[in-house]
Amino acid sequence: MTISRGPQAFPRSEYLRRLDLVKSDMVQRNIETLVVSNQHDITYLTGYTALSSYVPQALVVSTYEEEPTFILRRMDAPAAIHQCFMERDKIIAYPEALIGNPEMDGYDAAIHYLNDSTTGSLGIGIDQYNLSTATMEKFRTRLPNARIQDCTKAVTWIRGVKSDLEIEIMREAAAISDAAILRAAEVIRPGVREADAAAEIAATLIRGANGKSGTGIQGISLCSSPRTGTCHISWSEDVFRHGSQVNLEIGGSRHGYCAGLMRTYSIGTPSDRLRRVHEIELAGLEAALESVRPGATCSDVANAFDRAIEREGLKKESRCGYAHGIGWTEPTASLKDGDYTELKPNMTFHLMLGNWIDEDFGYALSETIRVTESGVEVLTTAPRKIFEI
């Protein structure tokens, strides 16, 4: 009648280590309780990856308790018991009556829990990143004795520095990304429907690599001529054609972690323009990689890239990367001029050199990288070339 804990991606000690980091941060912020609502932060602190964040759910971290408490919809509680590292009494299921209910929702259940525990009158930090004005108003009104503090992205910043165990999982995801990029080179053919190629790419992302399957699926961007100036659209309903270019962005997924990877394909000989852009971007990639080391800043990496390509007459308006790990983009550090976030060992980034130069012409190249003790490790290993079909 009960569900048991399933295989865990990380040992208990790893979650306790992460929680210690969060609790130290809480002490510095002078709060005893932290309410985490971002699904990727919840994955980081518990192991939970079920697709249930379309309804309210909240993880409550207390400096007085070793394990956090997860308040979520009754329907999803068995998945939480199965996936989370905590004991089952830390999973609190709120009733289905709070779903599709204009008067009350799952955040009311979280507030009820906070009022019921001793924490209702203490300092409560809340990550407001995903919370509407109405929800925040509810927290303030119904916790009148609490000192409520804005802790937006507090956990997101902490998870920016990975452990070696997390890096290992990201390596597994990166191997899957590599496999999908290589598979794309086999299935992109003139006359083939773009959807049929996308189907094979998606299947590869799920089948995985080295005996490790993908454990989820990220969006796939497949932007072919005349759409190579776009970056976030799916495959079209058309077939691939002779002379077309294809920009592909994919990411393998392991236990919530992903590893983004972009490559450009050319059906037939690439144009001189495309080849030239590729050479310049490759030089920019090398310059960016050489600049990555602990103590350098995100801005340093962006400047190294920008200088290298601008020397050759190319510009890229968008940032050249961002913090990357659980759930694709981590909304914290950006590899852009003026972002003085200091690089630390085991920070991971999607070094994203996609360059949408004209409305109808763009180019895709990226790697998932890790800051090491002395420099950089590139986790993705697919050939850095234009794949000629």
Instruction: List the interface residues with a second copy, window 184-223 (CB under 8 A).
Output: 193-196, 198-200, 202-204, 206-208, 212-217, 219-221
CA 159 to chain centre: 11
The one among 59, 81, 146, 248 contacting a second copy by CB under 8 A: 81
Q: How far apart are CA 124 and CA 147, in angstroms?
A: 6
294 binds a second copy (CB under 8 A): no
Site for a second copy in 212-271 (CB under 8 A): 212-217, 219-221, 226-227, 229-237
Q: How far apart are CA 103 and CA 105, in angstroms?
A: 7
Based on CB atoms, which residue is closest to a second copy, 153 or 293? Answer: 153
CB of 20 to a second copy, least distance (A): 27
CB of 30 to a second copy, least distance (A): 21
Based on CB atoms, which residue is closest to a second copy, 328 or 375? Answer: 328
Stretch that binds a second copy, among 58-66, 270-278, 353-361, 379-387 (CB under 8 A): 353-361
CB-based contacts of 377-380 (< 8 A; 24+ apart in sequence): 378/289, 379/167, 379/170, 379/171, 379/174, 379/259, 379/348, 380/174, 380/177, 380/178, 380/259, 380/261
**Is residue 222 within 8 Å of 244, Cβ to Cβ?**
no
Based on CB atoms, which residue is closest to a second copy, 19 or 179? Answer: 179
DSSP helix/strand/coil, 339? coil
Tally of CA atoms within 13 A in the half-sphere of 381 that contains its CB: 10
Site for a second copy in 115-134 (CB under 8 A): 128-134
1 binds a second copy (CB under 8 A): yes
Based on CB atoms, which residue is closest to a second copy, 19 or 127? Answer: 127
The one among 8, 14, 63, 82 contacting a second copy by CB under 8 A: 82
70 binds a second copy (CB under 8 A): no
Alpha carbon dihedral 283, 285, 289, 292, in 10-degree steps, equals 110
89 binds a second copy (CB under 8 A): no
Which tokens hold the place of 218?
A: 């990220």
Q: Is residue 8 classed exposed, middle or buried when 0-12, 13-18 and 19+ CB atoms within 10 A define those classes?
A: middle
The one among 318, 345, 384, 385 contacting a second copy by CB under 8 A: 318
Site for a second copy in 37-66 (CB under 8 A): 49-52, 54
CB of 276 to a second copy, least distance (A): 17
Based on CB atoms, which residue is closest to a second copy, 11 or 219? Answer: 219
Q: Which residues contact 255 (CB under 8 A, 6 or more apart)?
A: 9, 47, 49, 169, 215
The one among 89, 116, 164, 358 contacting a second copy by CB under 8 A: 358
The bridge status of strand 147-150 relative to strand 376-378 is: unpaired
339 binds a second copy (CB under 8 A): yes
Stretch that binds a second copy, among 91-99, 258-266, 277-285, 376-384 (CB under 8 A): 91-99
Q: Spell 344-376 as b/e; 16+ CB within 10 A means b.
A: eebbbbbbbbbbbbeeebbbbbbbbbbbeeeeb
**Is residue 170 within 8 Å of 346, Cβ to Cβ?**
no
CB of 136 to a second copy, least distance (A): 5
Q: Which residues contact 252 (CB under 8 A, 6 or more apart)?
A: 172, 173, 174, 175, 176, 177, 178, 179, 180, 205, 208, 209, 214, 258, 259, 261
The one among 29, 142, 319, 385 contacting a second copy by CB under 8 A: 319
Based on CB atoms, which residue is closest to a second copy, 333 or 376? Answer: 333
CB of 373 to a second copy, least distance (A): 26
Tally of CA atoms within 13 A in the half-sphere of 354 that contains its CB: 24
Based on CB atoms, which residue is closest to a second copy, 128 or 303? Answer: 128
The one among 79, 277, 314, 351 contacting a second copy by CB under 8 A: 79
157 binds a second copy (CB under 8 A): no
